[in-house]
Amino acid sequence: MTAHALDELLADGVRGRHVLVRSDLNVPLDGEVPSLKVADDGRIRASLPVIRKLAEAGARVLVMAHLGRPKGAPEEKYSLRPAYERLKELATFTVKFADDTVGESARTLAAGLADGEVLVLENVRFDPRETSKDDAERGAFAAELAALTGENGAYVDDAFGAVHRKHASVFDIAAKLPSYQGDLVRTEVEVLNRLTDVPQRPYVVVLGGSKVSDKLAVIENLMGKADYILVGGGMVFTFLAAQGYKVGSSLLEGDQLDTVRGYLARAKEAGCSFLLPTDIVVAEKFAANAAHEVVPANDMESSSFGSAGIGLDIGPASQELFAQQIHSANTVFWNGPMGVFEFEAFADGTRAVAKALTGSEGFTVVGGGDSAAAVRALGFDDTAFGHISTGGGASLEYLEGKALPGLTALDRS
């Protein structure tokens, strides 16, 4: 069964109807309570088109979303108010904010919405039932959310970054209302299908980030699909150690060494090649102003810091090597920075990969999460890439071949 598209709902007519939209407003914030501001509005901008489409069609739109990981109770540092304020700045329609999710504020403001107006509900994770393992508890919360829409409501899931969660506002709600797949989710699924079904070759996957354990399943699944897997970030030191090289005080997952050795041994049989850095930027300590040197990847302890040195980025030769491989590809998927890009001294590897993607003539996908944050922090424009995913974890789980609860819920509705 295929999920119903948003256009089907619009064709049925939404004027005067309450439409509950699950958006992804889980954005990074800057500052301190009570003066928090949105640091990166990429997800808000990505959520805006569907909200605008519904508002312009006359729907009374209820936006629900989460931010951070509150423990089932209100915490001001996790309030959606900063995201609401930014949405209101970007919007061409009236946007209001409820101080709760299904309480008096939400019920009163939802009932008073006019056609084309939007109400943002407070963080759904302030209610412990949202993330409960108990089906009945989640179902009860979903029923209360659905009740906000009255007699002729509908539900639209446009939060790809949350579809891998079996939560009330993502999974259970689809059984309570006529449900539709938002344009953002539909686009994400189409893009990921291009990466997994019949990718145009050569197909290059660039993986980084802190831990190889976070990427095990996606490596397992993509080894039989990708032509090359380029490895950087903190996870590369487990790959180097698996080959017998010393990595000083760099991040190392010793319990994954045998698994990584297995990948390296099986890669050729799978028709895939791992490409590892040839040089590493090694620092005296983990700090923005740390003294650092470039050393061969197979002799990291040759730096003046010896075994105390810590690898924080891929070196210039590796940057060039990775860029050449990316330029030769017709399909590129990138997930995870190449180094500690938050520190300018160790941002060159991530910057080089991003720049290579912008210069590629192939289909390029940035896999959300830290990668999306990095390209924006380093000054790259979203339009320079084929696609920037809004869901880091969801993207990886899709590429692992997992069934995602939010998508299966729409398929069954």
Q: What's the helix, strand, coil split of the chain in %, to 5?
A: 45, 15, 40
> Residues 211, 285, 376, 402: which is the catalytic one?
211
With a CB cutoff of 8 Å and minimum separation 6, the contacts of 115 are 15, 16, 58, 59, 60
User: Residue 254 CB: number of other CB atoms within 10 A?
Assistant: 8
Choice among 81, 246, 393, 402 that is catalytic = 393
CB-based contact 154:20 (threshold 8 Å) = yes
- Taking a C-beta distance cutoff of 8 angstroms, is the pair 79, 140 a contact? no
The three-state secondary structure class of 109 is helix
Cα separation of 114 and 206, whole Å?
47
Q: Considering the candidates 17, 22, 42, 43, report the single residue annotated as catalytic.
A: 43
Q: Using an 8 Å Cβ cutoff, are 55 and 117 in contact? A: yes
Respond yes or no: is residue 211 known to be catalytic.
yes
- Helix 392-399 × helix 183-196 angle, to 10°: 40
Active-site residue, from 369, 386, 391, 406: 369
Q: Show the beta-strand stretches assigned E in 276-330.
A: 279-283, 292-296, 310-314
Dihedral sign for Cα 115, 121, 127, 129, please. Answer: positive
Q: Give the three-class secondary structure for 87.
A: helix
Structure tokens at 324: 């050449």
Q: Would residue 43 show up in a list of annotated catalytic residues for this protein?
A: yes
CA pair distance 312, 344, nearest whole angstrom = 11
Nearest CA to 311 out of 326, 289, 296, 321 is that of: 296
DSSP state, 61? E
Query: Residue 271, Cβ neighbours under 10 Å: how many?
Result: 11
- Residue 156: helix, strand or coil by DSSP? strand
Residue 369 falls in the annotated catalytic set: yes
Is 107 annotated as catalytic?
no
State the catalytic residues.
43, 211, 369, 393
